[in-house]
Amino acid sequence: MTQLRISEAAELLGVSDDTVRRMVDSGRLPATKDDAGRYAVAGADVAAVATELAHPAPVGSVTDESARNRMRGLVTRVLKDTVMAQVELQCGPFRIVSLMSREAVDELALEAGSVAVASIKSTNVVIGVSK
pLDDT tier, 65 (very low <50, low <70, confident <90, very high otherwise): very low
In a domain, residue 29? The reply is yes
16-57: pLDDT as tens digits: 999 999 999 999 999 998 888 899 999 999 999 988 877 655
Q: By C-alpha distance, which of 81, 124, 118 is closest to 98?
A: 118
Rounded CA-CA distance 5/43 in Å is 10
In a domain, residue 23? The reply is yes
CATH number of domain containing 12: 1.10.1660.10
In a domain, residue 47? The reply is yes
The pLDDT, as a whole number, for residue 19 is 93
Q: What percent of the chain has pLDDT over 70?
A: 80
The pLDDT, as a whole number, for residue 110 is 94
70-82: pLDDT as tens digits: 788 899 999 999 9
Q: What is the mean pLDDT of the chain?
A: 84
In a domain, residue 128? The reply is no
Total count of domains within the chain: 2
pLDDT tier, 5 (very low <50, low <70, confident <90, very high otherwise): very high
* Whether residue 76 sits in one domain with residue 46: no
In a domain, residue 104? The reply is yes
* Whether residue 35 sits in one domain with residue 76: no
Helices (H), the chain: 6-13, 17-26, 43-53, 102-108
* Whether residue 47 sits in one domain with residue 8: yes
Rounded CA-CA distance 6/113 in Å is 14
Range of the domain at 103: 70-119
The pLDDT, as a whole number, for residue 67 is 47
In a domain, residue 100? The reply is yes
In a domain, residue 64? The reply is no
The pLDDT, as a whole number, for residue 55 is 61
The angle at the Cα of 101, spanning 11 to 53, to the nearest 5 degrees, equals 25
